[in-house]
Structure 1
Amino acid sequence: MINYLSLQKITSLHETEIAAAVNQVLHSGWYLQGEHTSLFEKNYAKYIGTKYCITCGNGLDALCLIFRAYIELGLLKEGDEVIVPANTYIATILSITENHLTPILVEPDINTLEIDEQQIEQAITPRTRAIMLVHLYGKCAYTTFIGDICKHHNLLLLEDNAQAHGCHFRNKRTGSLGNAAAHSFYPGKNLGALGDAGAITTDDEQLAQTIRSLANYGSARKYEFTFKGKNSRMDELHAAVLNVKLPYLDEENQRRKQIAKVYNKKIINPLITLIKDDDRDNVYHIFPLLCKSRNCLQKYLKDNGIETMIHYPIPPHQQSAYKEWNKCHYPITELIHQQELSLPCNPTMTDEEIYKIIDCINIYQ
């Protein structure tokens, strides 16, 4: 069986270094808010290209903390609108509604699967205060056109960078393109911890200080609480592991790009629609394709020893959690969720596995 993603194989790439780092934490006696976390915040801020990195418990918390901090700073208030792609993972939407803000869903471009920049401006109202970009599947969603829209309408530009660690827009990395960005280090990400972990990056000192306090029970000084905060902290174990893996991220992303390049060149089945690369960078956290008979294709590949995933079978506006949207119609998003299938694409794959997948897809009928 060719696994979609084997976390054992991913971890084994750096097993000796990871074991040493874990052992160091184990024997330090310091498991929270210590030197490993401090070092990772410094290293990751430098890598992304921002002044500040604040670690937290997971990617959803990172998203929520950004909005909560802007509310505490008076730049957002209940009922304000946030433009967000309709085609995204539920966490992006949850972070908006959790803070009593209003998500305004915008369709993707079927050619990129990212938010359609041409539909953003018509979604702006007097209550719009921010755009949340999602670098979905690992592809940069930012464009200069979107940046100009934010400037023209004085909107916050926020990034959900959970799937795009190491991705670029020209000479900058995603996570440094807007006012603030959320990152997830869920184990299956391009940069993954050994459990849940997250971070926020920004150049805004006041925002960074507010987020750090909010994530620490609302406290900047022990036993003094400025905000009604929460407990969302990365532990030393995850920070130590991420410090080991971060220096290898670009190399591993390059392997993902090599695999994707072969897929794009060699998959020629007319029943398959590939999302061709444009001029935007892509670190291929996910390699998506579209197929009208997606479920049959997935079963066929499984029968041939190839595991795949669907990202995602049900779009946010059709989820029971958002019943108020269930009668809404976003045809491009719905088409994607009906047809999307994700192929294995990770740095542990062998060339033999890659070509087996290609050969199986090309003879699918």
Structure 2
Amino acid sequence: MIPLVDLKSEYEKLRSNIQKEINKVIEDSSFILGSNGKEIESKISRYTNTKYGIGVGSGTDALLIALESLKIGKNDEVITTPFTFFATAEVITRVGATPVFVDIDPKTYNINPELIEKAITKKTKAIIVVHLFGQPADMDPIMKIAEKHNLKVIEDACQSIGAVYKGRKTGSIGDAGCYSFFPSKNLGAYGDGGIIVTDNEEICQNAKLLRNHGSTKKYEHKMIGINSRLDELQAAILKVKFNMLEEWNIKRREIAKKYTEELNGIVNTPFVEKESLHVFHQYCIQTKCRDQLSSFLKKKNIATAVYYPIPLHLQPVYKYLQYKQNQFPFAEKVSKNILALPIFPMMTEEQQKYIVSSIKEFLGDNYEGD
């Protein structure tokens, strides 16, 4: 079986160094808020050219804490995309605010900047921008809109560590950037983990308080926080894997390029902005016979996945927002046609050739268009 992502092959390559770091943590017996956490915070902040890195328990917690650090909550509105993982909107609701959706750019699948301004009201406090599948969103117009209307910008860069927009790493452009270290991410831990990056000292200090029960001094609490700390074992693993991030992202782009060369004209292949550096957390095609192709590939022992089958505005939990079917036509169309193919740094040429030939076997030479 060719998996969607092969974490075992990554581990085999790094096994000795990872085990060495894990053993050190266990021998030192310092598991929470220790030196490894500080080191990975420093590495990520330097890598993204930001002043501060705050390790947290997950990418979802990073988004939640970023919102709370910016004092966004009850009666506020936050604009975001309906075509993303549920957590992006979930955290908005969790802090007591209301998610306001706008449609996506049909080429990049990211939020369409041209639609944002129409969605702004007196209650709007922020925009959460998602760099979906590793493709940077168009940040320049978004930042101009935010500045014009005095809005905060949080970058959901959970899928885009290493991606670059006009010379700047995603996550470093808005008020705060949030990354996930979920195991399948381009930089993944062996459990949950995340980090917030920012140039804003107040956001940094608030985030550090919020991740640790609102406390800097033991048993003294300055605000209501949560327990969301990047533990030392995960931080130690991330230190080892961080050294491979750039090399593995390059490999992902090489695999993506081969896919596109072979499949362009047969399916709708990913669009990449010229001034951006995509890191291909996922390689997603579109085809009108998505479900049939997925079933066929499964029989060929090739894993696929659908990201995402139900746009957020149509999720049952958000019925109260009273969005309607066809309100965001591009998000809805993509959700019906999109299919993620296997992509991981250790993918062999033979594996990729087999995937491509299997897709061609099923679809033939008939391009279906968009």
Range into which the TM-score falls when normalised by the shorter chain: over 0.9
Equivalent residue, structure 2, for 1:17? 17
Q: Compare 261-270 and 197-206 and name the one that shifted more.
A: 261-270
Equivalent residue, structure 2, for 1:178? 174
Per the alignment, in what secondary structure is the counterpart of residue 111 of structure 2? coil
How far residue 320 of structure 1 moved from its aligned partner, in angstroms, is: 2.2
Equivalent residue, structure 2, for 1:303? 299
1:332-347 alignment to 2 at 5 Å? 332-347=330-345
Q: Compare 319-328 and 199-208 and name the one that shifted more.
A: 319-328
Per the alignment, in what secondary structure is the counterpart of residue 317 of structure 1? helix
Q: Given the alignment of the two structures, is residue 143 of structure 1 paired with residue 139 of structure 2, yes or no?
A: yes
Whether the 8 Å contact between 2:6 and 2:344 is mirrored in structure 1 is no
Q: How many residues align?
A: 360
Whether the 8 Å contact between 1:157 and 1:179 is mirrored in structure 2 is yes
Equivalent residue, structure 2, for 1:4? 4
Equivalent residue, structure 2, for 1:275? 270
Equivalent residue, structure 2, for 1:65? 65
Deviations 1:65-118, CA, capped at 9 Å, x for gaps: 0111111xxxx3421111101111100001100011111101111111111111
Deviations 1:208-233, CA, capped at 9 Å, x for gaps: 01110111011021111000111111
Deviations 1:329-353, CA, capped at 9 Å, x for gaps: 3221111111110011110100111
1:87-166 alignment to 2 at 5 Å? 87-166=83-162
Structure 1 distance, partners of 2:288, 2:227, is: 44
Structure 2 distance, partners of 1:319, 1:129, is: 23
Whether the 8 Å contact between 2:269 and 2:285 is mirrored in structure 1 is yes
How far residue 158 of structure 1 moved from its aligned partner, in angstroms, is: 0.9
Structure 1 distance, partners of 2:11, 2:336, is: 32
Deviations 1:135-173, CA, capped at 9 Å, x for gaps: 110100133122211122221111001000111112211
Q: Which runs of 5+ in 1 are unaligned?
A: none
Q: Given the alignment of the two structures, is residue 242 of structure 1 paired with residue 238 of structure 2, yes or no?
A: yes
How far residue 313 of structure 1 moved from its aligned partner, in angstroms, is: 1.7
How far residue 318 of structure 1 moved from its aligned partner, in angstroms, is: 2.1
Equivalent residue, structure 2, for 1:39? 39
Question: What amino acid maps onto 1:273 in structure 2?
Answer: N
Question: What amino acid maps onto 2:175 in structure 1?
Answer: N
1:215-364 alignment to 2 at 5 Å? 215-268=211-264, 270=266, 272-279=267-274, 280-325=276-321, 328-329=324-325, 330-364=328-362
Deviations 1:254-304, CA, capped at 9 Å, x for gaps: 00000011111111453x211222222210000011111111000111111
Q: Compare 92-101 and 76-85 and name the one that shifted more.
A: 76-85
How far residue 253 of structure 1 moved from its aligned partner, in angstroms, is: 0.2
Per the alignment, in what secondary structure is the counterpart of residue 80 of structure 2? strand
Question: What amino acid maps onto 1:36 in structure 2?
Answer: N
Per the alignment, in what secondary structure is the counterpart of residue 220 of structure 1? strand
Structure 2 distance, partners of 1:10, 1:82, is: 37
Whether the 8 Å contact between 2:178 and 2:194 is mirrored in structure 1 is yes
Structure 2 distance, partners of 1:319, 1:230, is: 27
Whether the 8 Å contact between 1:268 and 1:362 is mirrored in structure 2 is no
Whether the 8 Å contact between 1:63 and 1:160 is mirrored in structure 2 is yes
Per the alignment, in what secondary structure is the counterpart of residue 159 of structure 1? strand
How far residue 328 of structure 1 moved from its aligned partner, in angstroms, is: 1.9
Whether the 8 Å contact between 1:79 and 1:101 is mirrored in structure 2 is yes
Whether the 8 Å contact between 1:318 and 1:325 is mirrored in structure 2 is no
Runs of 4+, deviation exceeding 6 Å: none
Percent identical among aligned pairs is: 36
Structure 2 distance, partners of 1:313, 1:10, is: 29
Structure 2 distance, partners of 1:145, 1:38, is: 34
Structure 1 distance, partners of 2:169, 2:141, is: 17
Structure 1 distance, partners of 2:6, 2:304, is: 12
Per the alignment, in what secondary structure is the counterpart of residue 243 of structure 2? helix
Deviations 1:242-263, CA, capped at 9 Å, x for gaps: 0111121011000000001111
Whether the 8 Å contact between 1:181 and 1:201 is mirrored in structure 2 is yes
How far residue 325 of structure 1 moved from its aligned partner, in angstroms, is: 4.2
Structure 2 distance, partners of 1:291, 1:10, is: 30
Structure 1 distance, partners of 2:30, 2:323, is: 51
Question: What amino acid maps onto 1:363 in structure 2?
Answer: E
Equivalent residue, structure 2, for 1:79? 75
Structure 2 distance, partners of 1:10, 1:187, is: 11
Q: Which runs of 5+ in 2 are unaligned?
A: 364-370
Whether the 8 Å contact between 2:66 and 2:176 is mirrored in structure 1 is yes
Equivalent residue, structure 2, for 1:51? 51
Structure 1 distance, partners of 2:169, 2:204, is: 19
Structure 2 distance, partners of 1:215, 1:77, is: 17
Per the alignment, in what secondary structure is the counterpart of residue 100 of structure 1? coil
Change (3 A) 1:105 1:327: closer
